[in-house]
Structure 1
Amino acid sequence: MDILWEYVRAFLCGGALCLIGQILIDKTGLTPARILVTYVVAGVVLGGVGLYEPLADWGGAGATVPLTGFGYLLAKGVKQAVEEQGLLGVLTGGVTAAAAGITAAIFFGLLVSLLFRPKSKA
């Protein structure tokens, strides 16, 4: 029963983030690209002030997989690197923390592009 509740929390958290994004698309003049950037920045800001961690603990993958989770990961990496390396950690911490995810995205994007024939929609 505990694992089921974990799935429900992830669904509710991720669904709420998607709902906010859909409302922003429907009710504002913001482009999807600006909304995506806003989500990453919101994750960085909320992670930097310590408000995103309780949400990530509660929502699990529903909070860490969306773009706000990427921003939170960047902020968390910078915090950790600054504690370990000082001011130099500001420049290296975010990239180091997100390196595995970025590498996986590039690798699998390359793999899919080699296996399939990408075409333009035009």
Structure 2
Amino acid sequence: MDYLKAFLIGGIICAVVQIFMDRTKLMPGRIMVLLVCVGAVLGFCKIYEPFVKFAGSGASVPLLGFGNVLWKGVKEAVDKNGFLGIFMGGLEASAIGISAALIFGYLASFIFEPRMKK
């Protein structure tokens, strides 16, 4: 049942974002940044954590979850290191995910033929 719930919640998030991309003139990069910021704001408002407990990976994997991870990392680092935690907390909390994205993106560039759009 957990897999089904995660699939449905993650699918709903993706469907809402796809509708937003189709209905607005915003570029995909800006929408992605907006999702990360919304995730951080929802984490700040203490709304996202109960949502993650309910939805599991369906809520923690999309970009909203990345924003929440950044927020939690900054919050913990500020509590521990003060002002400098603002700059290092998000990077420490998300280093594994960022590294994985870079490594797998690099490996995918060997398998597929990347090229610029015309």
- Measured in 2, the distance between the counterparts of 1:28 and 1:110 equals 31
- Paired position in structure 1 for 2:51: 55
Q: Residues 67-82 of structure 1: matches in 2 within 5 Å?
A: 67-82=63-78
Match of 1:27 in 2: 23
Counterpart amino acid of 2:108? Answer: V
The match for 2:97 is 101
Shifted more, 19-28 versus 37-46: the winner is 19-28
* TM-score, length basis structure 1: 0.86
> Offset at 1:105?
1.2
Q: After TM superposition, give the deviation of residue 86 of structure 1 in Å.
A: 1.4
Instruction: Give, in angstroms, the shift of residue 16 of structure 1.
Output: 1.7
1:59–1:106 distance in 2 versus 1, CA, 3 Å: same
Identity of aligned residues (%): 49
Alignment match, 2:81: 85
* C-alpha RMSD of the superposition: 1.6
**Alignment-mate amino acid for residue 59 of structure 1:** A
Deviation at residue 54 of structure 1 after TM alignment:
0.7
Aligned-pair CA distance for 1:118: 2.9
The alignment covers a number of residue pairs equal to 118
